[in-house]
Amino acid sequence: MKHVRLVAMIVLGMAMSGCSTIDTVSRSVPFESPATTAMAPAMNVDAFQVRVPRSLQVSEANRYYPSGDIVWRGEPLGDRHAQVQKIFEEGLAMGTQGADGAVPVVLDIEVKRFHALSEKTRYSVGGRHEIEFVVNFLNPETMRPMAEPRQIDATFKAFGGARAVQAERNGMTQKVRITRHLAGVFQKELGVRDAAREAPAVNRIPAVSRSTATPLSAGDRTNNLF
């Protein structure tokens, strides 16, 4: 019960900090008391899992704004659900570095939307990477929810035209940008760093060789837990 209260305080603090984002956006109801953030203890992320439901529709249409929940062209044609899951796992592995606070927790991520750019859009006008997901905070022992789910809108501006071409030449592909952006979102949400003190850090988060938090299993993580 003590851990439930602590996680509730953390989520409250995160909801407040989400109101002052620079490059990452967390959509939630704002709270009033500024004193809660300082009181909320940090989480210790034991593990994480990412679910990309097969119900999310994939579009391979090369239009300016294809319909569908998943639009992803940053890798060869294949299982887009699995590719998106891998991107989230890599972002989590980076973003949970240093999340070693007082309250142990398992992060369960359910992807709701992953709408990157089609070829037609990327190499012309550009646009936005629209990324939305839900974070569930689970008890490591019971795998039951410890707090209310948190809905995250991590949409950010995508490169287009000549800038996109130049970025790719420099190794800054869509996959690299999105993975690092997600890492920054998770760092901010977990309180690993104070994002408000830094310039937008989408391209500055260094890659890491290992993470304290790891995926729960190598099996099918697209199934619903509850």
What confidence tens digit (pLDDT) does each residue in 111-162 have? 999 999 999 999 999 999 999 999 999 999 999 999 899 999 999 999 999 9
Q: Is 85 part of a structural domain of the chain?
A: yes
Which of the 8 DSSP states describes residue 4? H
Determine contact, residues 152/135, Cβ cutoff 8 Å: yes
pLDDT category at 6 given cuts 50, 70, 90 is: low
Q: Is 134 part of a structural domain of the chain?
A: yes
Q: Which residue has the higher pLDDT, 102 or 197?
A: 102
Report how far residue 176's alpha carbon sits from residue 191's, in angstroms, rounded to the nearest whole number: 22
Which of the 8 DSSP states describes residue 159? P
The whole model's pTM is what? 0.74
Q: Which residue has the higher pLDDT, 191 or 157?
A: 157
Q: Phi and psi of 59, rounded to 5°?
A: -120, 130
Q: Say which residue the tokens 């398992």 belong to.
A: 106
Per residue in 60-85, pLDDT (tens digit) is: 999 999 999 999 999 999 999 999 99
Q: Is 150 part of a structural domain of the chain?
A: yes
E strands, the chain, are 43-51, 70-71, 103-115, 127-138, 150-153, 156-158, 214-215
Q: Is 37 part of a structural domain of the chain?
A: yes
Whichever domain contains 46, its CATH number is 3.40.50
Looking at the chain, the whole-number percentage of residues with pLDDT higher than 70 is: 67
Q: Which of 41, 34, 35 is nearest to 8 (CA)?
A: 41
Query: What is the extent of the structural domain holding 160?
Result: 2-215
Q: Is 225 part of a structural domain of the chain?
A: no
How many domains, in total, are found in the chain? 1
Provide mean pLDDT across the span 80-93: 98
